[in-house]
């Protein structure tokens, strides 16, 4: 080996060492990674919407990592866990998730996650963020599980008050509710409406609450009963199969009572199960987030960005909107926590504190959610609650009303 070669090698090694030394702090700063545990249902009752929901919420973290995360020096890593929408499965998975990921937050899916983890998360100091509306049975102070939307009952009551205003007159609006005891969440949806109607008989008259199976055999007789009782609206926030059975029951009776659905069993999903959106002409979906209609909106524009720049394949519908809004408000809370406490030692506890520290504005969630002000009093914002109403007009989903006020509802 000649001196030239030796010098060359040494020089190369020195340059390499310098490059590594120079890059190390930057690399460490850029790779502060925090983990998120995603609870998913690819093989249970919500398997039909899960691929879209999963892609929509995952892409938000990919987008965040490439934009705000890069600026802040933080990467959000995520991993899906299959729960089959089963509380026992969630409970058995949780210790493993905790030891494997040590997550700073859980990206939740539905009622079984709440039922399984509501006692454990406060002990483990990990907050869980849902995409759905909240549940009355989980309406407790000092929560560790949060919903960007109020309870399903809040959302349906906002819709019913809006419908009564549209109808005019002083009479209470007559409503029937279809629920199921297959899930505590389904019962909860009906209980809140029932209590509100008892306290406000001048506003709402519940003609009947029908409990049925998740795949009803036949609802023709039940639909005749509610039609004869003069119901002006049917509230179905359970699943698409019940919407289909109720619609068939109404059609068999020649009755035309508008159905209000929620986000997880909304117009696109129920329309597809009925053989086309046209079957739901004049029916509604109502919830506290953006309606995925054809009209241009900040939410729609942001969705188009995700499609064009980040390869989002999920169609523009309510499930995609749910996934995006969930990802967005979680990313914003984490961002607030980084700004408040720094990027280096973030914990689940600090993320939760950041949630209460300042509101998540509607601009931060690109119009997907209204401005959310969380307090330790409840797992969802108690003030400034709004719902948006979508409908089917000429075979297409259209926005019927936005920013509809949600009434104050007593705890049940």
Binding site for another protein (CB under 8 A): 42-43, 45, 47-48, 50-51, 180-181, 194, 208-209, 211-218, 220-221, 224-225, 239-241, 244-245, 248, 251-253, 269, 272-275
Give the E-state strand segments of 13-158 in sequence order: 32-40, 74-82, 105-107, 128-129, 145-146
Taking the C-alpha atoms of residue 43 and residue 279, their distance in angstroms, rounded to an integer, is 28
Q: Smallest distance from the beta carbon of 81 to another protein, in angstroms?
A: 17
Q: Smallest distance from the beta carbon of 133 to another protein, in angstroms?
A: 20
> How many CA atoms does the CB half-sphere of 374 hold within 13 Å?
28
Q: How deeply is 204 buried, as exposed, middle or buried, from its count of CB atoms within 10 A (0-12, 13-18, 19+)?
A: buried
Q: Smallest distance from the beta carbon of 208 to another protein, in angstroms?
A: 7
Q: Smallest distance from the beta carbon of 103 to another protein, in angstroms?
A: 26
Q: For another protein, which is the closer residue by CB, 165 or 218?
A: 218
Q: Smallest distance from the beta carbon of 323 to another protein, in angstroms?
A: 16
Residue with tokens 């899930």: 183
Q: Which residues face 134 on adjacent strands? A: 151
Q: Are residues 94 and 117 in contact, defined by beta-carbon separation less than 8 angstroms? A: yes
Q: Are residues 388 and 404 in contact, defined by beta-carbon separation less than 8 angstroms? A: yes
Q: For another protein, which is the closer residue by CB, 203 or 208?
A: 208
Q: Smallest distance from the beta carbon of 167 to another protein, in angstroms?
A: 26
Q: For another protein, which is the closer residue by CB, 239 or 391?
A: 239
Q: For another protein, which is the closer residue by CB, 245 or 312?
A: 245
Q: For another protein, which is the closer residue by CB, 157 or 177?
A: 177
Q: For another protein, which is the closer residue by CB, 385 or 397?
A: 397
Q: Smallest distance from the beta carbon of 181 to another protein, in angstroms?
A: 4
Q: For another protein, which is the closer residue by CB, 158 or 216?
A: 216
Region of 354 on the Ramachandran plot (φ > 0 left; ψ -120 to 50 alpha; else beta): alpha
Q: How deeply is 123 buried, as exposed, middle or buried, from its count of CB atoms within 10 A (0-12, 13-18, 19+)?
A: exposed
Q: Smallest distance from the beta carbon of 188 to another protein, in angstroms?
A: 13
Q: Smallest distance from the beta carbon of 180 to another protein, in angstroms?
A: 7
Q: How deeply is 340 buried, as exposed, middle or buried, from its count of CB atoms within 10 A (0-12, 13-18, 19+)?
A: middle
Q: For another protein, which is the closer residue by CB, 214 or 399?
A: 214
Q: Are residues 114 and 91 in contact, defined by beta-carbon separation less than 8 angstroms? A: no
Q: Are residues 395 and 277 in contact, defined by beta-carbon separation less than 8 angstroms? A: yes
Give the E-state strand segments of 230-282 in sequence order: 233-236, 259-261
Q: Smallest distance from the beta carbon of 220 to another protein, in angstroms?
A: 5
Q: For another protein, which is the closer residue by CB, 251 or 371?
A: 251
- 200-205 — which CB contacts under 8 Å span 24+ positions? 200/172, 200/407, 201/172, 202/170, 202/172, 203/160, 203/161, 203/164, 203/172, 203/173, 203/407, 204/157, 204/160, 204/164, 204/172, 204/173, 204/175, 205/172, 205/173, 205/174, 205/175
Tokens of residue 15, six digits: 């340059």
Taking the C-alpha atoms of residue 311 and residue 105, their distance in angstroms, rounded to an integer, is 25
Q: For another protein, which is the closer residue by CB, 38 or 319?
A: 319
């Amino acid at each position: 080996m000649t001196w030239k070669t030796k010098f060359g090698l040494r020089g190369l090694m020195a340059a390499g060492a310098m490059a590594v030394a120079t890059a190390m702090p930057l690399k460490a700063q850029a790779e502060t990674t925090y983990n998120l545990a995603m609870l998913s249902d690819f093989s249970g009752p919500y398997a039909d919407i899960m691929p879209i929901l999963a892609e929509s919420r995952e892409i938000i973290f990919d987008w965040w990592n490439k934009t705000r995360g890069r600026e802040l020096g933080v990467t959000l890593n995520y991993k899906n866990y299959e729960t089959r929408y089963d509380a026992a499965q969630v409970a058995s998975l949780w210790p493993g998730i905790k030891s494997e990921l040590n997550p700073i937050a859980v990206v939740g899916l539905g009622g079984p996650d709440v039922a399984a983890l509501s006692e454990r998360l406060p002990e483990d100091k990990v907050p869980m963020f849902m995409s759905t509306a909240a549940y009355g049975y989980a309406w407790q102070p000092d929560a560790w599980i949060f919903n960007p939307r109020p309870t399903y009952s809040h959302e349906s009551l906002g819709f019913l008050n809006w419908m009564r205003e549209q109808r005019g007159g002083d009479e209470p609006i007559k409503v029937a509710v279809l629920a199921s005891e297959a899930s505590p969440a389904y019962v909860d949806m009906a209980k809140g409406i029932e209590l509100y109607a008892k306290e406000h008989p001048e506003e709402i008259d519940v003609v009947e609450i029908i409990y049925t199976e998740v795949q009803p055999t036949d609802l023709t007789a039940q639909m005749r009963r509610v039609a004869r009782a003069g119901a002006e609206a049917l509230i179905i926030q359970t699943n698409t199969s019940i919407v289909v059975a109720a619609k068939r029951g109404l059609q068999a009776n020649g009755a035309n009572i508008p159905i209000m659905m929620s986000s997880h069993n909304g117009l696109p999903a129920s329309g597809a199960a009925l053989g086309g959106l046209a079957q739901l002409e004049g029916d509604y979906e109502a919830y506290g987030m953006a309606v995925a209609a054809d009209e241009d909106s900040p939410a729609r524009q942001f969705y188009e960005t995700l499609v064009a720049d980040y390869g989002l394949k999920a169609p523009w519908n309510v499930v995609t909107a749910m996934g995006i809004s969930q990802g967005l408000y979680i990313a914003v809370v984490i961002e607030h926590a980084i700004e408040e406490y720094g990027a280096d030692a973030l914990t689940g506890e600090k993320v939760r504190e950041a949630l209460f520290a300042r509101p998540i504005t509607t601009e931060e969630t690109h119009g997907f959610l209204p401005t959310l002000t969380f307090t330790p009093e409840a797992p969802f914002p108690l003030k400034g609650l709004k719902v948006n109403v979508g409908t089917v007009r000429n075979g297409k989903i259209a926005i019927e009303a936005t920013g509809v006020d949600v009434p104050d509802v007593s705890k049940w």
